[in-house]
Structure 1
Amino acid sequence: RHSRLVQRTLAGCKRCFSHPVKRKQPLSHNNLHTAFLHYHTSADHDDILFLAQLYFGFKTLQHLGELVWPDAPHIQSYNIVPMCHTVDVEDNCVSYILPVSKTDKFGHGSQVLVQCTSYEDNCMEIFLNYLMSRDTVFPHHLELWLRANSLILTCSWFTTHFQHIFANCGFSGHSIQAGGATALVLVGVSPDIIQ
């Protein structure tokens, strides 16, 4: 490090290749509530789906890739698609089985669960509203998350809806999980539980 050649090389690299780190901001409860106010009165199935996905992803800390199908057809697989028959509705919570996830060590899938809250934008009610819409429109389809045209939602579809409501706000699809984790830290949940 003390050699003149090394010092000049490092200085040149910093000049040529230095870029400030650009991180997307995590979503907050206020951002979620903005989306809720925008979509909660809509009767459009796609709007109901987007709101349910946004809230479920935030509350359950799911990656965008766990919520949607990839855009590239060659990597789309039904092995990762949550099915409607795995949904379990209880009095105070709703859950479904995520068939494959990065945290699933044994290949049995992971249970994704959301509890009922007393807030106006209760995630459980939002999900049940989607489920009612889905069962009305597609009573015989197996897939849990379906668009109004009966296709499984893709990353580009979700991102388009996401950017519509959060345009120029410094958010991306990954802001959902980061926002959910940040919200848990702010209320005092231990980091080892969040992981």
Structure 2
Amino acid sequence: MQDPTPMRIGSALSGLLLVLFLVVHLAGLLPALIAPLTFELYATTLHHQPWLPLLEASLATTATIHLVFTVAKTLRNRRAGNTAALRSRRGRPLAALASRSKVAAGIITLGFLTLHLQQLRWPRPADGLEREALLQVLQQPISLIVYAAGSLAIGLHLLHGAEAAHRNLGLLTPVNGPSIRWGGRLLASVIGGGFLLISLGLALGVLI
């Protein structure tokens, strides 16, 4: 078990805050697939809240902190020739894949986020037209591919990040390791799979 450092703690805590946002965002987006009127009411109410700009600024700050700390930690580990984490993933090919692809997953996620904000945040759709705007975006093949890739990249990043966050906080032990890994797989499947399901469902015109 590695001792926590400010860099590791910052990376873990910022990541956990972003996971909380993803859970809330997924829950808010799900009605677009199963209850369109409820989704429009939710979106309109949310967009008129006076605290929304502060929340968005906080999310942008948290994401920047997470990116900076994660990149710095990765570079430091490479310079130090740290192979402990690689040895711990022997016999777990999916975890090894998630770890090796974390840079690519991060780049894909950033690209997806940039496109997503450009299409649905600047400018923001008018009240009552949020779902229609989302449908128009997802029915474009290129956009659907990017959204699907972004969903898979988020899932892979969470698969790696759940274990990494507990390790960075000094909470990963041989006793709780299996439970944390299974919990990470479940979290990655629910969030990554949930965003993928919603994207494909809306693109195909599926209404549950």
* Shorter-chain TM-score tier: under 0.3
Bigger helix share = 2
TM-score (norm 1): 0.27
TM-score when normalising by structure 2: 0.26
Structure possessing the higher radius of gyration over alpha carbons: 1
Q: Highest relative contact order (Cα 8 Å, sep 6+), 1 or 2?
A: 2
